[in-house]
Structure 1
Amino acid sequence: MSDQTPAEAEFEQAWADQRYTRAVLPDVDVNRILGERYVTGAPVALDRAAVWDMEVRKAGNPGAFIPNVVEEGSVSAWVPGREGAELGNEFVRQSRQRLWLQPGEYGLVLEETHLNHDRQVVTFLGRETFSDVRGRPLHADDRQPLFHVQHGVAGTDGQPLNTWRIVLLTDEPDERVVRVFDRMATDPWLPEFLELYVRDVLGIGLTRRDDV
């Protein structure tokens, strides 16, 4: 696609590589699931802008939106070479995340983060190494392959869809990891980050219904 950014082109090149392990989760029909599976403290319906606002916030502060994935206190994000600069559309981040095949253990994940507000897509490119905000070397955990992730918003304002796909840079497709994502795909609830956005950012109480 001619309108791809370099980061998006890198993601697509990896996605097309048959050696790598790929997975796509079903698009999350946000308002349908909200209406069918939750009791809310006030009427709530998200439009595309709200879902994208969640993605932007999560990109810079994953610990607040995916606490079940990210080890508490392990996240930092910065603009390389500009200590103290406000995060913009391109920055890097480090966090300790649960390993895909050893979820009881955490490993350091290094990611370049690229926000495309026009397409409402955020692309995370896994990196083996880069320098921290003070120039000291960091090295990603080598117990699992590097991976790239892409989150986005699709659909309409009345029916926004949250999208997600991942590619792991493996020597050959790894069915063990695919099964992890197959299990994630059967979850009938909103992803954790959308629940937390409604509760913590919008300030609207949210309870999972037990009668569905």
Structure 2
Amino acid sequence: MNALDHEGIFAQAWNDPRYTRYEIPPLDVNRVLEERYRTNEPLRLTRTMLWDMETKKSRRPDRYIPYVVAAGSAEAWDDRPAADGAPTFVRKSMQRLWRQPDVYELILEQTRLNHATQTVTFIGAASYPDRNGQLLHAGTGQPIFHVVHGVGGEEDRPHNRWEIVLLTDARDAKWTEPFAQIARDPWLPGYLEIYIRNDLGIDLTRRDLP
């Protein structure tokens, strides 16, 4: 992997007036957990837990977001530390298109884990060589996009963070509607439900909403 300033590239794209961006409001996960779920034992999520989940999800999106990523399609390679020691790698997966969820295309993402800020930055790529040097090409059914997943808040009251910027020719509201739908979802993100059940071994049941 060529050395990238992942966070700088994301910030530059975020501030580019041509591109379409969306930030899901930070989610107080323990408030949602307490108000909308039942568990078979007491559970209070911490920043440490959420960051553990994010680091695992960065390499295994097929495990943590199977409702987005096709089974068996995820792979990570080209591991190397950045100049500051942060882990970086590239990953590929077949993902549902944002506006055509019945269609899967290849997504290539150059990835950096920042343990200090507890953020994962994914820089989308149109092409990238696989572990054998064969050039892979991302699908063209939607714009290339960059994403930041992260953890905010306090250790005992963490917030889930999620931001995306699509490299559009001009800002286009039609691309933000899928993310607005995610923001309106009353539940925890699916990957957190999966982490609680599979990694923490705690049964989780959704309450009936009023």
Q: TM-score, normalised by structure 2?
A: 0.93
Q: Please give the alpha-carbon distance, in whole angstroms, between the structure 1 residues aligned to 2:150 and 2:29.
A: 13
Q: Cα distance, 1:211 vs. partner? A: 4.4
Q: Which residue of 2 aligns with 1:8?
A: 7
1:123 maps to which of 121, 124, 145:
121
Runs of 4 or more above 2 Å deviation: none
Q: Cα distance, 1:157 vs. partner? A: 1.2
Letter in 2 for 1:168: L
1:1-212 map, 5 Å: 6-79=5-78, 89-212=87-210
Letter in 2 for 1:38: Y
Q: What SS does structure 2 have at the residue aligned with 1:58?
A: helix
Looking at secondary structure, tell me which structure has more strand per residue.
Answer: 2
Q: What SS does structure 1 have at the residue aligned with 2:176?
A: helix
Letter in 1 for 2:158: P
Classify 1:91/1:19 alpha carbon distance in 2 versus 1 (closer, same or farther; 3 Å): same
The 8 Å contact of residues 6 and 121 in structure 2, kept in 1 or not, is answered as: yes
The 8 Å contact of residues 79 and 87 in structure 2, kept in 1 or not, is answered as: no
Letter in 2 for 1:45: R
Q: Please give the alpha-carbon distance, in whole angstroms, between the structure 1 residues aligned to 2:208 and 2:100.
A: 30
The 8 Å contact of residues 79 and 88 in structure 2, kept in 1 or not, is answered as: no
Q: Which residue of 2 aligns with 1:84?
A: none
Q: Please give the alpha-carbon distance, in whole angstroms, between the structure 1 residues aligned to 2:47 and 2:113.
A: 15
Instruction: Give me the identity figure in percent.
Output: 51
The 8 Å contact of residues 47 and 152 in structure 2, kept in 1 or not, is answered as: yes
Q: TM-score, normalised by structure 1?
A: 0.92
Deviation readout 1:159-200 (Å, 9 max, x if unpaired): 100100000000011211111111111001000010000000
Unaligned runs of 5+ in 1: 82-87
The 8 Å contact of residues 80 and 133 in structure 1, kept in 2 or not, is answered as: no
The 8 Å contact of residues 19 and 171 in structure 2, kept in 1 or not, is answered as: yes
Q: Please give the alpha-carbon distance, in whole angstroms, between the structure 1 residues aligned to 2:189 and 2:25.
A: 11
Q: What SS does structure 1 have at the residue aligned with 2:105?
A: strand
Q: Please give the alpha-carbon distance, in whole angstroms, between the structure 1 residues aligned to 2:199 and 2:182.
A: 24
Classify 1:80/1:90 alpha carbon distance in 2 versus 1 (closer, same or farther; 3 Å): closer
Deviation readout 1:96-135 (Å, 9 max, x if unpaired): 1000111110010000010000010100000010111111
- Count how many residue pairs are aligned between Structure 1 and Structure 2: 202
Letter in 1 for 2:116: D
Deviation readout 1:20-61 (Å, 9 max, x if unpaired): 010011111111111110010111111111100000000010
Unaligned runs of 5+ in 2: 81-85
Deviation readout 1:143-163 (Å, 9 max, x if unpaired): 111000001111001210010
Q: Cα distance, 1:80 vs. partner? A: 5.7
